Structure 1
Amino acid sequence: MTPRKRVLAVLNNQPVDRIPVDLWYTGEVGASLKQHFKVKNDFELYQAMNLDKIVWLFPGYKNPAADKFTGSQVGAQAVGERTAWGVPLKPIQSSDAVYHEFGTPPLKEYNSAAMLDKYEFWPKADYFDYQGSLELAKKVSPTYATIGPWISFFEVYCQMRGLEQSLMDLLTDESFASEILDRIEDCQTKMLKKFLQVLEDNLDLVFISDDMGMQQSLLISPSIWKTFFEARMKRWCDLIHSYNKKVFYHSDGAVEPLIPYLIECGIDILNPIQHACPGMDTAELKKKYGSRVMFHGGIDNQSVLPFGKPEDVRVETKNCLNTLGSSGKGYIVCSCHNVQAGTPVENIIAMVETVTKG
């Protein structure tokens, strides 16, 4: 099977010759892997490693009236002077890695709908580069599955208001929080519709990223989540499904209490399965939810991948295969987020080859 056919078979609950294996990594890790395998670009790397890569389609964003504010979408791939939402970005050096962190939240001092109406950086659907995503999709889709764009409710909210103020908003000012979320939803829904219309059959999954979990618990209670996010999530899932695409939902941390509600909303794939967190045991998740949702991720990149030995990684990967992938269906192996700079190349290879070579 080709990588694309293998991934699509899993997404459609069909038999596969083996469980697919994806890989998320930072730029520094990508450079190390390319050097190791003596390849020039990411696509040669996917082939050299025998990856079933799900290729990202993140449309660029450019406001023609303000070139200096041009930037990418928010999220792990944010680059430029500021995001499409007007959130300033600043490069931060951390050991061998460089990250673009979010600066001063632009809506931090806002307190009325009138002020929100005057904010100049609400993204406009026409400013996203759909054709660039389409060109990339056409290039890779004969071989690889594709995923995009990046959309979010709570992560965008926090970047625009700041985490502390965002949490206070949800507790103390339901009306104003809803005003902001309405705008966040509207901007992205317009963009998403255009993206789906332009990409057509060159797109397989839509990526919703909304980190709701911490290392030990949720960031917000299930009741707060239901108040602010349940109906919005359902609308997005329904829209995505109306175009016959799958919903790929990402939330780090201990999110098990939300999983039943997310499934009811219509998510198809849950990522990243951070099983070191309470409630996220892989065998239990498969037992409780495996008949209703697929899993992507699972391989620990907080301790095992960066600090273990290759044999530790093989044990970790086999455990995920035997639990999340116990039925031979419904699971795509991947690091449970971007593999970080400094992770031994031999550990990454051990993860992949445990799947591809047994």
Structure 2
Amino acid sequence: MMTPRERLRATLNHQQPDRVCLDLGATWVTGIAASAYARLRAALNLPERPPKVHEPYQLLGFVEEDVRQALGVDVVGLWGRSTIFGFKNDGWKPWTLQDGTAVQVSKQFEYSEETNGDILVYPKGDRNAKPSGRLPKGGYFFDAIVRQQPIDEHNLDPNDWADSFGEFDDEDLAHFEREANHVHQQTDYGLVMNFGQGGLGDVAFVPGENLIEPKGLRDPNLWYEYLLLEPDYIRGIYELQTQAAIRNMELLHQAVGEKLDVIIISGTDFGGQEGMLISPKTFRSLWKPLFKQMNDWVHEHTTWKTFFHTDGSIVPILDDFIEIGVDIINPVQCSAAGMEAQAFKDTYGDRLVVWGGGVDTQNTLPFGSPEEVYDEVSERIRIFNSGGGFVFNNIHNIQAPTSSENLLAMYRAVKDSYATAEKF
């Protein structure tokens, strides 16, 4: 029987593992909403305790060791010290989600409530700053607040973005070294780094939610316009970001060496439900060369595998990802146009590791019956795990309204697949 680390590494090398490799909560795109996590703990008959909301933007719950053991999880995440809102997960205090779930949040999490019930969160926990995130009343995650300052379109300067691309400091590197050593010395899990600094134009980060006063273009809607109207300005920002990302990967490698199995380079979305959000031509002009620089650096200097997240229908650029040497694609949104599971596996399965794709989190998992969840999960494992190259996870994060019955059906299907693993 393989250890979790051996199972992940076999999977990443397109070798057939002894059973499907399983992830829950190792990354910010393979996690679980804190309220759903609380229900999962209860359904597994584990001790009740308020989930830690370690990723406040999406209100994700930190997956604890007893849950990993109960489900047979194979991989854990290496996380930075700061959140998307710029404050650190440094100590915890009680809070209550809008659906009534008791949770814990960082002691640096500072918020206010508007008269309509919306929750506003402050960058770096600084109440003197303008709020940078809004949780609508009854909502399940924060939306960024655009705080763009006036722009002189005749004097656009990519260096306005320099504050967004900081270098890891000694405390960051000591943290990464300590956490990576712990995983390797005290556990047999695989390890994935939640890096994401190569996410060029990732609209989750464009507004600068972590900054007190973000400079430059910060409106995601205008961003897409400027791709066509001011491509040199956007390219200049992307080049600065790429240089900073490579420098931080150098520092990260000095700190953790080959203890890392996977690094998430980018979380930029390029697809929607029916097609691309940008043209393939624009992708090849503005993104592809810089993605290649980052991907090449990893493969030339480390043994890490590279992980790229993009939602939606991305068929026109999948060969581009393969051409620049991307190892892993997430989440493979099978409900999007052209992304059907069997066709994807047949066409790309020997060249791209599928991390995700296990069940539809838009419809089946939150709104289907347990039987429908079980059947879909079983079918996806049958397709994607044939010949290796598949890490099971839901398609993006598990949503807050998901029932415990459906969560148990999903993991029951995963475990039932072990009995037939030798047939793949």
**Which of the five TM-score ranges fits, normalised by the shorter chain?**
0.7 to 0.9
Structure 2 residue aligned with 1:314: 374
- Aligned counterpart in structure 2 of residue 246 of structure 1, from 305, 313, 316: 305
Distance 1:113 1:241 in 2: 38
Cα shift at 1:228? 0.1
| Residue equivalent to 1:133 | 176
CA gap 1:15/1:325 in 2 versus in 1, 3 angstroms: closer
> Is the contact made by 1:214 and 1:254 (CA closer than 8 Å) also made in structure 2?
yes
Residue 199 in structure 1 maps to residue 256 in structure 2: yes
Q: 1:183 & 1:217 partners in 2: Cα distance?
A: 29
Structure 1 counterpart of 2:116: none
Three-state SS of the structure 2 residue aligned to 1:338 is coil
The one-letter code matched in structure 1 to 2:76 is V
8 Å CA contact 1:21, 1:51 repeated in 2: yes
Q: State the Cα distance separating 1:60 from its structure 2 match.
A: 2.1
> 1:35-80: per-residue Cα shift (whole Å, max 9, x none)?
333146611110012222x322221249xxxxx96468xxxxx995
Question: Which residue type is aligned with residue 245 of structure 2?
Answer: Q
What is the deviation of 1:217? 1.1
- Supply the distance in 2 between the matched residues of 1:120 and 1:294 (Cα, whole angstroms): 33
1:164 deviates by 1.7
List per-residue Cα deviations over 1:70-113 (Å, max 9, x = no partner). Answer: 468xxxxx995338xx996324046373x232222547726467
1:273 aligns to what?
A: 332
Question: What is the alpha-carbon distance in structure 1 between the residues aligned to residue 34 and residue 367 of structure 2?
Answer: 19
Structure with greater helix percent: 1
- 2: CA distance, partners of 1:60 / 1:304: 34
Corresponding position of 1:65: none
SS of equivalent residue, structure 1 residue 335: coil
Cα offset, 1:220, TM superposition: 0.2
Query: Is the CA contact 2:176–2:255 (under 8 Å) kept in the aligned structure 1?
Result: no
Computing the radius of gyration from Cα coordinates, the structure with the larger value is 2
Secondary structure (helix, strand or coil) at the match of 2:143 reads strand
C-alpha contact 1:87 1:106 (8 A) present in aligned 2: no
CA contact (8 A) 1:297 1:337 kept: yes
> Is the partner of 1:150 in helix, strand or coil?
coil
Asked if structure 2 preserves the Cα contact closer than 8 Å seen for 1:108 and 1:165, the reply is: no
Q: Provide the rounded CA distance (Å) in 2 between the counterparts of 1:159 and 1:170.
A: 16
Q: Which residue type is aligned with residue 109 of structure 1?
A: I
Aligned equivalent of 1:227: 285
* 1:119-151 deviations in Å (ceiling 9; x for gaps): 572332134723223322222343211111222
Q: Are residues 1:340 and 2:399 paired?
A: yes
What is the TM-score normalised by the length of structure 2? 0.74
Q: Which stretches in structure 2 are left out of the alignment for 5+ residues?
A: 25-30, 50-62, 90-105, 110-121, 209-217, 418-424
Structure 1 Cα separation of the partners of residues 360 and 221 of structure 2: 28
Distance in 2, matches of 1:194 and 1:70, equals 22
Higher deviation after alignment, 261-270 or 86-95: 86-95
Q: 1:184 aligns with which of 241, 244, 252?
A: 241
Query: Which deviates more from structure 2 when the two are superposed, residues 305-314 or residues 14-23?
Result: 14-23
Deviation at 1:33, TM superposition (A): 1.9
Change (3 A) 1:118 1:333: closer
* 1:218 alignment partner AA: M
Query: 1:292, 1:102 → 2: CA distance?
Result: 35
TM-score, structure 1 as length reference: 0.87
The 5 Å alignment of 1:13-28 reads 13-23=14-24, 24-28=31-35
Question: Mapping of 1:27-106 within 5 angstroms?
Answer: 27-37=34-44, 38-39=46-47, 42-52=64-74, 54-61=75-82, 70=87, 81-82=122-123, 89-93=132-136, 95=138, 97=140, 99-106=141-148
> 1:158–1:357: structure 2 CA closer, same or farther, 3 Å change rule?
same
Residue aligning to 1:123: 165
For 2:320, give the aligned amino acid.
Y
State the alpha-carbon separation in 2 of the partners of residues 194 and 107 from structure 1: 33
* 1:159–1:260 Cα change, 3 Å: farther
Q: Is the 8 A contact 2:272 2:312 kept in 1?
A: yes
Give distance in 2, aligned partners of 1:19 and 1:204. 17
Q: How many Å apart are 1:193 and its aligned residue?
A: 1.8
2:224 is aligned to 167
Separation (CA, whole Å) in 2 of partners of 1:34 and 1:322: 27
Within the candidate set 176, 181, 196, 1:150 is matched to 196
Cα distance in 1 between the residues matched to 2:88 and 2:153 = 26
Deviates more, 1:115-124 or 1:299-308: 115-124
Q: Which residue type is aligned with residue 217 of structure 1?
A: G
Query: 2: CA distance between counterparts of 1:132 and 1:33?
Result: 29
SS in 2 for 1:249: strand
Aligned residue pairs: how many? 345
| Cα distance in 2 for residues equivalent to 1:36 and 1:27 | 14
Match of residue 264 from structure 1? 323
The 8 Å contact of residues 207 and 220 in structure 2, kept in 1 or not, is answered as yes
Q: CA deviation at 1:347?
A: 1.3
**1:338 Cα deviation (Å)?**
0.6
- The answer on whether the counterparts of 2:258 and 2:303 sit within 8 Å (CA) in structure 1 is no
Letter in 1 for 2:64: D
Question: Which of the numbers 272, 275, 289 marks the counterpart of 1:214?
Answer: 272
Q: Is the 8 Å Cα contact of residues 113 and 179 (structure 1) preserved in structure 2?
A: no
**C-alpha separation between the residues in 1 aligned to 2:150 and 2:253?**
32
1:349: how far off?
1.9
